[in-house]
Structure 1
Amino acid sequence: MQLQHLYRWQNLAEALIEDLTREPCRYLSGVQALGKKYQVSRITVERALDHLEQLQILLPAQRGMRREINQKALRDQAKSRGLGVGRILYICDRSLPDTNYLNRERFKAFSKLCSRENLQAEYLVLPRRLQDLKIILRDIRPKGVITVSLEAKVSEAIQKMGIRTIGLGCSSPNIKRYNVSYFHLISSGFRQAWEAGHMRVSNPLWNKSASVIERMTAELIPFFESQRMHFSPTYHLPSIHGNGPEDYHAGLAKLFSHTPPSCIIVGNFFQYLMASSFLLNAGIKVPDEVSLISISEDPHFNHLCPSIARIKNNSLAHMPAVLDYLLNRGEHPDKIDETIIESTWIPGNSLKNLS
């Protein structure tokens, strides 16, 4: 969707067409009433009405007389604009081709749900300025908005416009949100490795910020203590930064040069490929010499042979509940809370049982 810059009277004309389509009536309100309703000047209203008359939506009338609406012309104009079909925006900070595979699959699944409800799901790349986003939202007037891993202030600004908003990967307590707990994924990975008899387990973090690493460390320390295990940040949660496989390989080489782990927990499919290529080049066999566990819901893992043991979060399964909330349906349609998306353990041949 491209950002469109319209004059104020053009925005008003489009808003009137959409409102009249949603709530049909025979006569249009007066200039003063319209100005007060849409918070615009008298001149802006008059220019918008002149434009609607040119489109034959308004029938000619003497000054001061009520303006009658040409319903057939209104329907034709609404149809050409795709009105009459409610729209829900899916806002992300990256374009659809550039975002990760999971996000593309999630939008695809959500689009199918919307089409069954005679709704249209539209993907929107977050504009650089918040004001530009507000202009787009005023023009489109969506029934609801999904924000994906955006700053809390963005989701809160949308909700303040009176638009039902739900955040995926959102930290704001003022927004209904569905989140994947990275701590639950990682701790589940460690637990599964321990149950299989692995005591030397490492979860390399790839290009994570200092704040994320600090938070994960703070959450994992009491978890390790509850399992009567000693936590070492540099071993159990080593941080690797870089631009590609060479940097990732260098980080793993450093990890293996001291006390080689018997099990590695990796993140997404790309990290799995980088870890696998390092192990292959180093002559380290999976799972005989080192086991692998992934924490990802990427469906690419379904087609690997031998199979990969992994922790899968079920975010796609929650999309119907997301749509219900945006359409103000369900048992508690106005309840604002956080739902932690549960994960599922999927056994695989990449995890060797040492116990």
Structure 2
Amino acid sequence: MGLRPGVLAAVVLLGMVGAQGHAAADDYPTRQIKIIVPFPAGAGPDQVARMLGQHLQDTLGQTVVIENRSGALGSIGAQEVARSAPDGYTLLMGTNTTQASNVSMLKNLPYDPAKDFAPILRTVTTAMVLLVKPDFPAKDLSQFMEYAKTHQNMTAGYGSGASQISNAQLQSRGGMSIISASYRGVPLAVTDVIAGVIDLAFADFSVAIPQMQGGTLRGIGVTSPKRNELTPGLPALAEAMPGFEATIWYGLLAPANTPEPIIKRLYTESEKILSTPAVREKLANLGMVVSTMPPAEFGSFIRSEITRWTAEAKAAGIEAK
């Protein structure tokens, strides 16, 4: 039985679209690629994106630009990628904030972290350091705990979901009185600690280590469950506040419905780059551990992280704003 002309035309059109999609994937990339970092320049995700972008540029033979779109806990940049064409030319360096904890932090999140993105790979895991000025009265974690007992309303900045939850854990697990202030990114909160505008801030290792090495800030403790090899002298905050933890991660994502061959190409090249000893060492010096996941596993991980960070926010008493 022959097809009606209208049906036949539709079938032909679908075939042409499919063929064009495969052709586009086979030729990818043919022009500039953009990686949007939803946090300020200098933040941990920005450093990873720039390192990865340079290597992808060398490998893929096309310019890779990094654009910072900070604000609203990274949701501004993430939303831009979610609404972009699914062609592999606009990517996101997402984090546990944009892809997980924002579900509990923001009332009207303008995207679905699981449904609106095609995961490419998780890149690294890391943690944060609690930072204060060198002249802060408490010199170590033990003194900090004692100081908090008699000093109410310490001011703490945050620029990510993990740093906001960490501030809340100082209250819920440490019994402290903390006034939290929102920033467009962690580096901006750190700048205000240096200036004496606020008392403390949690910062990714990649941001904290240069400040500690330069003597502009002092570390009190780390948010990983155990001490970090990079800073063996700093205790885990969990040593004084049992259960305290904020392990964070970054990962590369594309808009949902990006062709699978493009996702596979980006995953293969990115994983290859991150597995090299030189890159692993460079990231380790920033307090980051290469911990890649392929697309399907990364997608399942994101869904589990939404559940975990929702529970963390609830336990910390954080209400969506």
* Category of TM-score, reference length = shorter chain: 0.3 to 0.5
Tell me which structure has the larger Cα radius of gyration. Answer: 1
Q: Which of 1 and 2 has higher RCO (CA within 8 Å, sep 6+)? A: 2
What's the TM-score, normalizing by structure 2? 0.40
What's the TM-score, normalizing by structure 1? 0.37
